[in-house]
């Protein structure tokens, strides 16, 4: 009996040893230990090196999603192969990955770009990486238990990044666009469209402001301009810098000035506009004047009168400013134009008379008539004064034969 028990015990020990030696759950060698230890450190996961009866195992959270890695055996060509298994689990993962991957050309641009991104991610996840998705889990398997930690970390992080996008709720479009903007693996054109949609459709959101603040440091001036406009009042300083930068293309300076014009608080924009108009760079000042004229930006009328009245303002610039004032159609600055009728330079007086003819009221008529009757005055200037009176009287329905009176 004792002999029989001894034989049974020996067989049991032999079978146990065979099972342990044939299982992946055995003491890892030094190479495997180094790989797993480095991976755990890179991903900040809890790591158990295993032992005689169990293999290495690590687990934890990455961007709020549960992940784990372990080893297992699989029969391949009649032989056991040792494999490493990565599993990501999150209840937010959609059952069907292609659920949001379809969009028609007539669909909203936001829906189309998100669908395009989903298709790209699903293709990368399944076809390029070789992962499988089912029941809220993503599984990725690779051969052996010894591999390049850097490459494995990169693949794991890529899987996590894709799943982070897929886990965002369907209605959280701004969050999806933000993640897409930050994904440098996407084509730049696709990311640029995402940024544009984020600025246009979701202004004031945390996602919009995050991207805009990042783009203010971008080397591309067009990106900085888009960001400054998207930030609203907080982007005003950046707009001013761009409007006053002579090294930027004229169209970009014009866009910056236009964005300043669109600000609702004119009390804040007036000092900015003054700074641009007083720029030492002639191109910068001319661009601002041109934008005021083109946009008929009336809030600038009083500022223009003040600028033209400053002794240091060149005569040709004064003439240009007076012409613009006349085109703005704001007669609240009429008194300033009347003062220019007495300017020391004839060209300024002529421009003032013409401008008064465009925007003046009957209150300006006596001053114009007085200059028209001056015996020693310039003939062309007097004619312009008479013409201005005629235009004012015609516009206000108070017409008389002013030329007969002047003679």
- Examine the pLDDT at 155 and tell me if it is beyond 50: yes
pLDDT per position as a tens digit, 333-347 = 999 999 999 999 999
pLDDT of residue 19: 45
Band (pLDDT 50/70/90 cuts) for residue 363 is very high
pLDDT of residue 28: 46
pLDDT of residue 9: 54
Q: Which position has the higher pLDDT, 259 or 18?
A: 259
Element (H, E) at 304: helix 301-309
Query: What b-and-e string marks burial along 221-239, b requiring 16 or more CB atoms within 10 Å of the CB?
Result: bebbbbbbbbbeeebbebb
pLDDT per position as a tens digit, 236-280 = 999 999 999 999 999 999 999 999 999 888 888 899 999 999 999
Element (H, E) at 143: strand 137-143
- Examine the pLDDT at 49 and tell me if it is beyond 80: yes
Most confident of 7-16, 261-270, 349-358: 349-358
Domains and their CATH numbers in the chain: 28-167 (3.30.1460), 172-215 (no CATH), 228-294 (no CATH), 296-407 (1.25.10.10)
Whether pTM exceeds 0.75: no
pLDDT of residue 33: 86
- DSSP-derived secondary structure letter, 378: -
pLDDT of residue 153: 94
pLDDT of residue 25: 44
Band (pLDDT 50/70/90 cuts) for residue 94 is confident
pLDDT of residue 50: 84
pLDDT per position as a tens digit, 97-134 = 666 677 788 889 999 999 999 999 999 999 999 999 88
Band (pLDDT 50/70/90 cuts) for residue 323 is very high
Let me know: does 391 contact 358? Beta carbons within 8 Å. yes
Average pLDDT of the chain, as a whole number: 87
Q: Are strands 65-76 and 79-89 parallel, antiparallel or unpaired?
A: antiparallel
359: nearest Cα among 406, 301, 315: 301
Band (pLDDT 50/70/90 cuts) for residue 26 is very low
- Examine the pLDDT at 406 and tell me if it is beyond 60: no
pLDDT per position as a tens digit, 52-93 = 678 899 999 999 999 999 999 888 888 888 899 999 999 888
- Examine the pLDDT at 10 and tell me if it is beyond 60: no
Let me know: does 45 contact 67? Beta carbons within 8 Å. yes
For the chain, the helix, strand and coil percentages under 3-state DSSP, each to the nearest 5: 60, 10, 30
pLDDT per position as a tens digit, 181-229 = 999 999 999 999 999 999 999 988 999 999 999 998 888 899 899 999 9
pLDDT of residue 17: 47
pLDDT of residue 170: 84
């Amino acid at each position: 009996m004792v002999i029989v028990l001894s034989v049974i015990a020996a067989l049991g020990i032999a079978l146990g040893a065979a099972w342990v030696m044939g299982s992946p759950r055995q003491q890892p060698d030094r190479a495997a230990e180094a790989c797993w230890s480095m991976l755990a450190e890179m991903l900040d996961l809890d790591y158990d090196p295993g032992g005689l009866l169990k293999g290495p195992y690590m687990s934890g959270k990455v961007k709020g999603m549960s992940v784990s890695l372990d080893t297992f055996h699989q029969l391949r060509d009649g032989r056991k192969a040792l494999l490493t298994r990565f599993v990501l689990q999150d209840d937010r993962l959609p059952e069907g990955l292609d659920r949001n991957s379809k969009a028609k050309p007539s669909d909203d641009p936001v829906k189309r770009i998100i669908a395009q991104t989903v298709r790209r991610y699903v293709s990368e996840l399944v076809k390029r990486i070789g992962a499988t998705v089912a029941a809220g889990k993503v599984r990725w398997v690779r051969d052996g238990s010894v591999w390049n930690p850097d490459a494995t970390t990169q693949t794991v992080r890529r899987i996590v990044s894709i799943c982070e996008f897929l886990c965002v709720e369907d209605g959280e479009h701004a969050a999806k666009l933000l993640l897409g903007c930050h994904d440098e693996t996407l084509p730049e054109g696709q990311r640029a469209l995402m940024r544009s949609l984020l600025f246009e459709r979701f202004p004031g959101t945390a996602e919009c402001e995050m991207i805009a603040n990042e783009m203010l440091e971008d080397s591309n001036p067009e990106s900085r301009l888009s960001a400054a406009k998207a930030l609203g009042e907080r982007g005003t300083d950046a707009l001013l810098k761009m409007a006053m930068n002579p090294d930027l293309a004229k169209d970009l300076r014009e866009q910056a000035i236009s964005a300043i014009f669109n600000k609702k608080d004119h009390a804040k924009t007036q000092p900015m506009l003054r700074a641009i108009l007083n720029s030492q760079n002639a191109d910068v000042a001319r661009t601002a004047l041109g934008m005021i004229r083109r946009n008929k930006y009336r809030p600038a009328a009083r500022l223009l009168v003040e600028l033209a009245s400053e002794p240091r303002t060149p005569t040709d610039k004064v003439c240009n400013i007076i012409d613009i004032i006349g085109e703005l159609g704001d007669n609240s600055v009429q008194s300033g134009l009347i003062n220019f009728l007495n300017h020391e330079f004839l060209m300024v007086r002529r421009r003032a008379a013409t401008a008064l003819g465009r925007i003046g009221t009957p209150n300006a008529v006596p001053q114009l008539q007085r200059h028209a009757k001056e015996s020693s005055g310039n003939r062309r200037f007097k004619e312009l004064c008479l013409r201005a009176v005629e235009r004012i009287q015609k516009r206000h329905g108070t017409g008389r034969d002013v030329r007969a009176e002047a003679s």
